[in-house]
Structure 1
């Protein structure tokens, strides 16, 4: 097994580094006024005195942020119970973690391995909800790869070394009889580099998350979706559910504001369901708030983004997934499987 990187080197899982550079699109009557994002504060227009608790919310570009787009729109016009000041970024290590640690953020989206690592290292956060299942896809310009075993002897371009992405890939390659160090030449690059190289036809094989994978498929008709790693996870007989994204809450904030946390969960679940049930309108909001640069890409990506909402006792199902990451590299989740204190369970 190759040397894996610790949390401090982990960039966003596929979850936060998926989108290519944002491009502005014309406003339509169905989208709210433009706001700054990356990172920025998104403020409600209603007087704060008329709203509930202020929550400083950290979101990531890509799949983990997509489900919150309706929440941002409702917040902006003062239709949420809580008042949300939102920081939107692409890199959890730089945009999210420092602000969680110093108390600037109360609730934030993170890759699931980063959340466990932070809990084990500091004890300052708890898992509040799971929000994203697997979103990784292997794309090919050709027709030679139809299973992970077919990667033997090939060069695969990938992103997010040292995160869930690498650990899951290594695990699944091993489950399919391959040595990740010897049998596959894995070239780690940035999301922007891999997206550009694959879309232009300069490389033939890559692993990308949605919506970056969606972007490539839309830009290069010769590229096909060869393997969905969520399917590969199931087919390999892996334990647990491939779960890449979540939201966490600062433990101190949760203890002091239990009703605000419960209101957030209610509003966040409604937002996720709205985006999934209304992909066209949801995609417009996703573009408007800079979570994905183009509505067309967002709309195509929504069915593949595997957005979920799992809270309460059901979150503990992720423990089996953490066992897989722990076996790959204990430090990937902070040295141990999180104990029961990791899970926020409302009383």
Structure 2
């Protein structure tokens, strides 16, 4: 008899009451068991939630087998989505909107972070976006969410990235952080957990690297709203919905519970996520409080999402396929 067979909903909840098990699902199961539930995400904050839910056995009553796999860059994500290999993944909201508007059958189920972008530097004279004038900065993922958001913030503050800054484009946030530590740039745009990695590695090297600009706060100042960047969420392809759509409410319920657990016990969550994300436990533990992790239904987050997309979409909304996503994008 397997552990899954033994762990019925009743005895799982009994174990939970005793403090020795993870909560699974509220109320009764609503769908047939999935043979294999494959979840994907970047090596960043929201994926800690997925990896932790898998490690905790949160999907035991949803799937015979559940796994989490990290993708390493946006191109790898897009290839997996278009090939059908990836059906359920944490995806940058802007990328999901762009794919949807261009005809790819993808929908947004929830938002899993309210923003995890920071500018780090040793230079304490940099305290705001305007202070980047005349500085050198490493920026990752050219043409994708971090660079687009920074560009919009620069424009709002009257800075031209072509003439007012010396930008070095990096392949990933980790590479951007490494350029800073190598003193090839004065600042770096990073996303958690590479932000925390830069601070910790800098400390080891005798450097005082800090978060000098919180891009979420800068975004709120620009838009006159809350400091919220609904940067990434769980995206679902039509292929997954066709095969397993009835299970999606239960999957999202597990993720809501898992998010609360990650925030309540970052060190345990870091232990669960360390191997699949390929990142050290101390780094993830220190990073989680700065990831602004949430589990907001996409429909409820729509106003924040549309505000972000409008601001970052560019001329004629070209960066998101020419329009805001319609009602069908939001699950």
Q: Same fold per TM (> 0.5)? A: yes
TM-score (normalizing by structure 1): 0.78
Structure-2 change in CA distance of 1:86 and 1:298 (3 Å)? closer
- Of 79, 88, 111, the match for 2:60: 79
- Of 165, 186, 193, the match for 2:175: 193
Q: Which residue of 1 aligns with 2:238?
A: 251
- The reply to whether residue 319 of structure 1 matches residue 310 of structure 2 is no
| Deviation per residue, 1:268-314 (Å, 9 max, x gap) | 2222221111111111111132x151110101100001111111530
Q: How far, CA to CA, are the matches of 1:277 and 1:87 in structure 2?
A: 24
Q: Which residue of 1 aligns with 2:275?
A: 288
Q: Which residue of 1 aligns with 2:140?
A: 159
Q: Do 1:135 and 1:305's aligned partners in 2 also have CA atoms closer than 8 Å?
A: yes
**Structure 1, unaligned runs of 5 or more:** 1-29, 31-49
Q: Which residue of 1 aligns with 2:113?
A: 132
- Of 294, 303, 325, the match for 1:338: 325
Q: How far, CA to CA, are the matches of 1:148 and 1:99 in structure 2?
A: 35
Equivalent positions of 1:96-245 (< 5 A) are 96-191=77-172, 192-221=174-203, 222-237=208-223, 241-245=228-232
Q: CA deviation at 1:196?
A: 2.0
Q: Which has the larger radius of gyration?
A: 2
Structure-2 change in CA distance of 1:329 and 1:147 (3 Å)? farther
Figure out how many residues of one structure are paired with residues of the other and give that number. Answer: 293
Q: CA deviation at 1:79?
A: 3.0
Q: How far, CA to CA, are the matches of 2:51 and 2:170 in structure 1?
A: 29
Task: Please say which of residues 99-108 and 304-313 is displaced more in the overlay.
Answer: 99-108
Q: CA deviation at 1:51?
A: 4.7
| Deviation per residue, 1:207-235 (Å, 9 max, x gap) | 11111110111111322221111111112
| Deviation per residue, 1:245-266 (Å, 9 max, x gap) | 1111122432453321111111
Q: Which has the higher helix share?
A: 2
- Of 282, 299, 312, the match for 2:285: 299
Q: Which residue of 2 aligns with 1:271?
A: 258
Tell me the SS of whatever aligns to 1:90: coil
Q: How far, CA to CA, are the matches of 1:230 and 1:199 in structure 2?
A: 23
Q: Which residue of 1 aligns with 2:15?
A: none
Q: Do 2:93 and 2:232's aligned partners in 1 also have CA atoms closer than 8 Å?
A: yes
| Deviation per residue, 1:104-159 (Å, 9 max, x gap) | 33211111111011111124111111112221111122222111111112211111
Tell me the SS of whatever aligns to 1:110: strand
| Deviation per residue, 1:74-131 (Å, 9 max, x gap) | 34x973423424332212322x323322333321111111101111112411111111
Q: Do 2:59 and 2:66's aligned partners in 1 also have CA atoms closer than 8 Å?
A: no
Tell me the SS of whatever aligns to 1:178: coil
Structure-2 change in CA distance of 1:328 and 1:282 (3 Å)? farther
Structure-2 change in CA distance of 1:286 and 1:86 (3 Å)? closer
Q: Do 1:239 and 1:321's aligned partners in 2 also have CA atoms closer than 8 Å?
A: no
Q: Do 1:56 and 1:104's aligned partners in 2 also have CA atoms closer than 8 Å?
A: no
Q: How far, CA to CA, are the matches of 2:56 and 2:323 in structure 1?
A: 39
Q: CA deviation at 1:162?
A: 0.4
Q: How far, CA to CA, are the matches of 1:59 and 1:139 in structure 2?
A: 24
Q: Which residue of 2 aligns with 1:20?
A: none
Q: Do 1:153 and 1:184's aligned partners in 2 also have CA atoms closer than 8 Å?
A: yes
Tell me the SS of whatever aligns to 2:299: helix
Structure-2 change in CA distance of 1:181 and 1:80 (3 Å)? farther
